Structure 1
Amino acid sequence: MPRGDKSAYTDKQKRQAKHIEDSEIDQGRSQEDAERIAWSTVNKQDGGGKKKKSDK
């Protein structure tokens, strides 16, 4: 997957990232920093992009 490709993320993960990004922008961060923080947070919470739950 090329760097920056968000296709492996679920719709929920994308919504979470957008919400975090909007919050960071409201706090005065630049668009670039807000997006970086948002996706870093989603990755930290979920361990990266997932298309579906794995059967464990």
Structure 2
Amino acid sequence: MPDKADWSDKSERQYDQVKESERQMGKTDAEAEESAALTVNKEQARKGDAKEVVENE
């Protein structure tokens, strides 16, 4: 599970919604959590809310 300490309530809700949606599409818990975290972090970076954007190599 990602460190959600810096996430707003809205970001946490978005994470939970994306994770649940991914699970319903048949992804594993780990895959769903990763997709949800990437989605929230991408949205934060787009809005300028993220502290630092780290790209996955």
Identify the TM-score tier after normalising by the shorter chain: 0.7 to 0.9
Q: Which TM-score applies when normalising by structure 1?
A: 0.75
Q: Comparing both structures, which one devotes a greater share of its residues to helix? A: 2
Q: Which of 15, 40, 46 is the matching residue for 1:17?
A: 15
Corresponding residue pairs, total:
47
Could you list the runs of 4 or more consecutive aligned residues of structure 1 that deviate by over 6 angstroms after TM superposition?
Answer: none
Q: How does 1:1-56 map to 2 (within 5 A)?
A: 4-47=2-45, 49=50
Larger-Rg structure: 1
Q: Percent identity?
A: 36
Could you list the runs of 5+ residues in structure 2 that have no partner in the other structure?
52-57
Q: Which TM-score applies when normalising by structure 2?
A: 0.73
Contact residue 6 and residue 49 of structure 1 kept, 8 A? no
Partner residue in 1 for 2:54: none
Could you list the runs of 5+ residues in structure 1 that have no partner in the other structure?
51-56
> Quick one: distance in 2 between partners of 1:49 and 1:18?
18
Deviation at 1:6, TM superposition (A): 1.1
